[in-house]
A and B are shown apart, each in its own frame.
Chain A
Amino acid sequence: MSDQGFEATAAIACTVNGEPVRATVPVRQSLVDWLRHGLGLTGSHVGCEHGVCGACTVVVDGRTMRGCLLLAAQADGAVIETIEGATASGRVEALQEAFHARAALQCGFCTPGMVLTAAELLADEPSPDRPRIREALSGNYCRCTGYHAIVDAVADAAAHAVRER
């Protein structure tokens, strides 16, 4: 960009859903905008763009984060997984089936964020009770379902995983 010799773009190299990616990104671009517009991974949604809704949830270096509160430039060297990658690997399959069975989505806008957040909860705590599930999902907004069905689905997926073990 500028008078001071700063660049308006940054070169990044990272791993997205298991694939190495190199790109040049505008320094102002958020990670989720780059994933959607640069890579065509439109499973991560963009709601509020300031951290409150959780629709943009992605997994960065193994941990869920807000894709709208990271810059794409900060992804250099990172390992990123989006809902597309989590779906392809099958690691969220039980949750996806439970969401389907319980009608835990209507428009589906919040669903990728809900599923990635719930998957992290169940990986850390295999048998959360309902208040704990609600607490873990407290950072993800759903404007359609009223949440009960989502909590049902996560509880079902947890029970299913415990039975399978």
Chain B
Amino acid sequence: MKPAPFAYTAPTELEGALALLREHGDEAAVLAGGQSLMPLLALRMTAPKVLVDINRIEPLRAVGHGGDGLRFGALVRHAEALRAVRDQVGPAHLLAQALPHVAHQAIRHRGTVCGSLALADPAAELPACAVCLEAEIELQGASGRRFVPADAFFEGVYATARSVDELVVGVRFPATAPGTRFGFVEVARRHGDYAILGLASWARVVDGEVADCRLVYFGADERPSVATRTARTLRGGRLDDPATRARAKECALDELTIAPDATYGEGYKRRLAGALLERVVAQWGVAG
């Protein structure tokens, strides 16, 4: 057995799980899909005293939707979320484009959307999508339930606004305005790997002109990067105008903070940032 010894408990009630987190604080770890936690345990990169397995808390399985807004409870797996988005909102939605890039099918059957948000890996797809779509993370602890906007939730590498005695009980992705177009691209060595660099976006296009848009890079910095100035540069420009696109690209290269990783240098990632921008703008042109 590879993990360091731990105590294991699988409460069936949310209150039971919250009481355990309150009691054990940072010596406890929440076990959701385990698709990140189990590897960390096997490598002994983490050694919690108590594993609080939330998989038996039935109400956390819920998928909710209204309009094209969606809510995923803490136990909604990546594969279930993808099915829900495709069936209820459509294959063009940002999450429908992004979820197939999250790991591999066998991992998507078990890993959860909320687990990916709680982990806050800077190269992960879903935190960037949550920031792009202005999702709200629902946290519950001893002192009740609170809703944190995704942009405020992600604080750094594996660091979030969640306190140790809180559980992410769900995430709410608000409905988007009718006619919103989405663009999603990432570059990875192999399908299903974490991205070297990726970009999640939406745009509202009126008569070929960008009325509004939002761009969120992932894999660039320590948390999802909102490219505010780049979006502003694109607003009011025509999709088919090469000058607008060139200006936006230049702005993105300038605006983005790039933390080089072990394998890929800053120069390469910066060039990639420009190429990804071109590609999502092209996606806006054909979508919807």
Q: Which residues of A contact B (CB under 8 A)?
A: 1-2, 4, 6-7, 10, 26-30, 33, 49-52, 54, 57, 60, 63-66, 68-71, 73-74, 117, 120-121, 134-136, 138-140
Contacts and interface: CB of A to CB of B under 8 A. Distances in A.
A74 B55 contact: yes
A6 B53 contact: no
A49 B79 contact: no
Interface in B35-55: 35, 38-39, 42-43, 50-51, 53, 55
Given A65-B109, A69-B38, A70-B34, A139 B103 contact: yes
Nearest to A51: B39
Contacts of A7: 8
A33 B104 contact: no
- Secondary structure of the A contact surface, majority rule: mixed
A73 B8 contact: yes
A31 to B, nearest CB: 10
B1 A139 contact: no
Contact of A51 (B38, B53, B109): B38
Given A51-B38, A64-B109, A66-B107, A26 B190 contact: no
Contacts of B53: 71, 73-74
A51 B35 contact: yes
7 nearest A-B pairs in the assembled complex, by CB-CB distance: A139-B104, A6-B7, A50-B39, A27-B8, A69-B38, A63-B109, A64-B106
B9 to A, nearest CB: 6
Contacts of A66: 35, 106-107, 110
Contact of B50 (A4, A139, A140): A4
Contacts of A30: 1, 38
Given A51-B107, A54-B104, A64-B109, 18 more contacts: A2-B7, A27-B7, A27-B51, A28-B5, A49-B42, A50-B39, A66-B35, A69-B35, A69-B38, A69-B39, A69-B110, A70-B110, A71-B38, A73-B8, A74-B53, A117-B105, A136-B105, A139-B106
A65 B53 CA distance: 17
A1 to B, nearest CB: 6
B160 to A, nearest CB: 22
B6 interface: yes
B227 to A, nearest CB: 29
A14 to B, nearest CB: 14
A139 B35 contact: no
- Secondary structure of the B contact surface, majority rule: loop
B260 interface: no
Contacts of A1: 5, 7
Nearest to B192: A138
A70 B8 CA distance: 13
Contacts of B110: 65-66, 69-70
Nearest to A29: B1
B10 interface: yes
A6 B192 contact: no
A100 B114 CA distance: 41
B29 to A, nearest CB: 13
A117 B42 contact: no
A70 B111 CA distance: 11
A153 B79 CA distance: 26
B3 interface: yes
Contacts of B2: 49
A69 B8 contact: no
Given A138-B104, A138-B192, A33 B1 contact: yes
Contacts of B3: 28
Question: In this complex, which of A33, A57, A69, A121 has the most chain B Cβ atoms within 10 angstroms of its Cβ?
Answer: A69
22 contacts: A4-B7, A6-B8, A6-B9, A26-B1, A27-B6, A27-B51, A28-B1, A50-B39, A50-B43, A51-B38, A57-B106, A63-B79, A65-B106, A65-B110, A66-B107, A69-B38, A69-B39, A70-B34, A70-B38, A121-B105, A135-B191, A135-B192
Contacts of A63: 79, 106, 109
A33 B1 CA distance: 8
Contacts of A121: 105
A66 B105 CA distance: 10
